[in-house]
Amino acid sequence: MSIKGFSILPCLLLVCSFCSGKAMPTKLSQEAVNDRPVIGVLTQLVSDDVMKPFGRTYIPSSYVKYIESGGSRVMPIRLTLTTAEYENIFKKINGLFFIGGAANLETSDFARVAQIFYRLALAANDAGDFFPIWGTCMGMQLLTVLVAGENLLTNTTAENVALPLNLTEEALSSRMFQGFPQDLIKALTQEPLTGNFHHYGVTVKNFQENVKLTSFFSILSTNEAENGAHFVSTVEGKKYPFYGVQWHPEVNRFQWDSKLNFPHSLHAVQLSSKLAEFFVNEGRKSLHTFDDPEEEVSSLIYTYMPIYAGNFTSYEQIYFF
């Protein structure tokens, strides 16, 4: 696991009664909700030698369980498809999740595919077609590269350390932490609930000096790296439903390597649950859908088998592709 709303515009559903000829569209007064969301997860490039015998790309099952725990299904997205194929997938999924790992954030296939989806998501949201994106650890680093159009990462090593978050003023009015009970917010700022496993990040200074980042994202939390640098640890899109955490909420419930500082306290578990539920609920606001039920079934993660990986990685189980 090395490392590397629209103030939310309600998505009003316009249905035309019978959709025939001159029928006037009927405006439903409630927000459209999709209770069968599918979140796409880009597979990650294998960089670790011990994993190479099993495949070229992978998804740790901890991320899959995390997303499923929020009430969503997961679709793994390979890095070998054409742009047209990604455009087609985009119309079917209800959100996208960039996981952690170690890949070049500008030249790798992971970065190339992420950029295709990022552009599609920007255009969709601009057109009122709600589509959320989440980035964890390297996934958040990738979001900063996509938004800034350049790589602003520097050494902000916080490797195998659990930290409380230094929440900003904006966190208190954020969407991400909106549904948190007061005691959990308090715990989040006082207890080491966030597992950090990274070498790079965006310092608060680099972030604040980049107008593309400051106009796009609100900083919800910061932390201090081993070298004393203050780095941005949680962000939320000001206009777009895009979210990033430099830490790993999925480990709190789904990773157990005792050599690593995975927070497993009740508050740590609650934090992880709340954020998974939050992001999946963002996915429920997306009305993208598969037209073909058979294609839907065969696209989901369920047809793949994870392998036991607890004896050669810090993950318990991994899907290889």
In the complex, the residues that contact ligand NAG under the rule CB under 6 A are 155, 157, 166, 168, 199, 222-224, 226-227, 230, 308, 311-312
Q: Quick check: 222 and 204 in contact, CB under 8 A?
A: yes
Angle at 233 between CA 231 and CA 234, to 5 degrees: 140
For the CB of residue 176, give the shortest distance to ligand NAG in the complex, in Å.
17
For the CB of residue 44, give the shortest distance to ligand NAG in the complex, in Å.
20
Is 248 catalytic? The answer is: yes
User: Which lies closer to ligand NAG via its Cβ, residue 154 or residue 273?
Assistant: 154
Distance CA 115, CA 96 (A): 12
Distance CA 115, CA 155 (A): 24
Q: Which of 268, 260, 273, 257 is nearest to 317 (CA)?
A: 257
User: Which lies closer to ligand NAG via its Cβ, residue 169 or residue 295?
Assistant: 169
User: Which lies closer to ligand NAG via its Cβ, residue 58 or residue 97?
Assistant: 58
Of the candidates 137, 198, 267, 288, the residue annotated as catalytic is: 137
User: Which lies closer to ligand NAG via its Cβ, residue 94 or residue 246?
Assistant: 246
**Strand ranges across the sheet with 217-224:** 73-77, 38-42, 95-98, 133-136, 242-245, 230-237, 217-224, 166-167
3-class DSSP state for residue 310?
coil
Distance CA 266, CA 253 (A): 10
Of the candidates 19, 199, 248, 264, the residue annotated as catalytic is: 248
Is 230 catalytic? The answer is: no
For the CB of residue 189, give the shortest distance to ligand NAG in the complex, in Å.
10
Distance CA 182, CA 187 (A): 9
Catalytic residue IDs: 137, 248
